[in-house]
Amino acid sequence: MARSYGQYCPVALATEILGERWTMLVVVALSDGASRFNDLLRALPRISATMLSQRLRSLEEAGVVVRVRESGSNSGHAYRLTDAGRGLEPIITDLANWGQRWARDLEPDDLDPRFLGWSVHLRMNVEAMPKGRTVLQFEFPDGPRDCRRFWIIVVDGVVDMCIKPPGHAIDLLVTSQLQRFVDVWRGFRPLRAELDAGRIRLEGAPALQRSFPNWLLLSSAAHVERCRPGRERSVRLRAARTKRSR
Amino acid sequence: MARSYGQYCPVALATEILGERWTMLVVVALSDGASRFNDLLRALPRISATMLSQRLRSLEEAGVVVRVRESGSNSGHAYRLTDAGRGLEPIITDLANWGQRWARDLEPDDLDPRFLGWSVHLRMNVEAMPKGRTVLQFEFPDGPRDCRRFWIIVVDGVVDMCIKPPGHAIDLLVTSQLQRFVDVWRGFRPLRAELDAGRIRLEGAPALQRSFPNWLLLSSAAHVERCRPGRERSVRLRAARTKRSR
DNA sequence: CAGTATCCATTTCGATACTG
DNA sequence: CAGTATCGAAATGGATACTG
């Protein structure tokens, strides 16, 4: 269980549970619709099963999550947000917008394509896509060795994502530098300009290529304007930083 | 520095810094008006100086806080929220309201009178108080041995608080069980009823006693209705709990 | 007052191996 | 698939002593 702050303060009580590492991100993943243990593992590619299990347990104890036997053919359990958990959704939105505005710049290690793939597949504009099956492959030649690509499969409006070849013919191949595609996804560069300049490249039927820019809804905070100044820091901080990383 | 989640997700980036233990509470204290290192220590009675120093440093690196040389006679520094830091205030309010609605019940150890005193002194309705100096003593006979009481001194609308005798005559003495006063402060019991029933007792000039109920503004989340069900838990969780605390 | 340095106990986390 | 048990490495945090 989370360590207490020894205060009745409602922010302290809320933070006791929500402030633990990973907890908020598990809530986000649940809020985004993941409900099975393995879906949560896919939504949070760098969490360990042990950690996820512990966090789900704490959230259950805190009354934020319930674990229910999955009805239907599918055996096993599903995790769902309770009313208390859904009460966190406005806070999550505000945190996301705050992060978009003010959080630190990205480092190369923050660009996990598995997480990107999960995000993209949650926000596909299926209305704008062809009927039947469409298979997209995203390819990032400069990405980490073991996960340079992912696939998104849309069948009649149902979107799935995988990090192993899906065994279907590819309808559209999207190739880009990872950082550049993430910038587009975050709303910091217009997709159109990147396509026109050939920095994000498409291969596939011309009709699909033409339609593709309408398929991506982008990050849900992409519309929020970034306010954080550039990378410059005060001398004092730079000195302290250097010193500590001796 | 905070460990990264390896994701570009804006909630992850925000949580990296804000999710660390104590960080959010430091922001709350700053938002409530504390700016000196020692005021922050008083606002957060259970933080260590080492921890506070570290957290202020991280917040400064994250651009949430600035450290400025204190102008005027007072030497030393002041910590203030930046625009980014002030951007967190709506989130703090929502977190507080969520905590009021849904957070766990209190345990005896959560009732630190020093924190209570700090909170109370921030929310005195000085308009309703006499001109000149008023000295209140709060006394909790069942509180922790070393901090059963605190004092609040109001001089012409300026409120101060201390945990050592202020060396002035007491105008009004307030005595109560700690838990009961906290319940009132949190908005879970009406002050009037507790006074009438003699469970919160006043000693001092009758005019002050009559006026006192208007002096306390209560916790800023006191108006929010609690939704969390009672202490019952599912059998499964109880079992798991017992097992782990072997 | 306003912190920082250091040391040690505790906690946390991830990897691996394992189970119904 | 859906987790749990265990173990070692690393991080965390508090107490104490110290400084300008």
**CATH 1.10.10.10: which residues of chain B?**
10-87
Q: How confident is the model at residue B73 (pLDDT cuts 50, 70, 90)?
A: low
pLDDT digits (tens, 9 = 90+) for B224-236: 999 998 643 334 4
Name the residues contacting strand C (CB < 7 Å): A 2-3, 20-22, 46-51; B 36-38, 49-50, 53, 56-57, 67, 70, 74, 76-77, 79
Q: Quote the pTM value.
A: 0.93
According to CATH, the topology of domain A108-245 is Nonspecific Lipid-transfer Protein; Chain A (3.30.1050)
Rounded Cα gap, residues B156 and A179, in angstroms: 58
Burial of A92 (0-12, 13-18, 19+ CB in 10 A): buried
Q: How far in angstroms lies nucleotide C5's C1' from the CA of residue B55?
A: 17
B115 → closest Cβ in A9, A106, A110: A9
Q: Where in the sequence of chain A do the CATH 3.30.1050.10 domains occur?
A: 108-245
pLDDT of amino acid A70: 81
Contact A61 B237 (CB under 8 A): yes
Q: Which helix or strand (DSSP H or E) is residue B148 part of?
A: none
Distance B95 CA to D7 C1' (A): 37
Q: Which of B7, B88, B177 to mutate to test the interface with A (most CBs of A within 10 A)?
A: B7
Chain A residues 22 to 41 with C-beta below 7 Å from nucleic strand D:
36-38
Tens of pLDDT, residue by residue over B205-220, are 999 999 999 999 999 9
Q: Judge whether residue A240 has pLDDT over 50.
A: no
Is a pLDDT exceeding 60 seen at residue B238?
A: no
Q: Which residues of B touch A241 (CB under 8 A)?
A: 61
Contact residues on chain A for B116, CB-CB shorter than 8 A = 8
Q: What is the CATH number of domain A10-87?
A: 1.10.10.10
Residue reference for tokens 């080492």: B50
Asked if A172 and A208 touch (Cβ cutoff 8 Å), the reply is yes
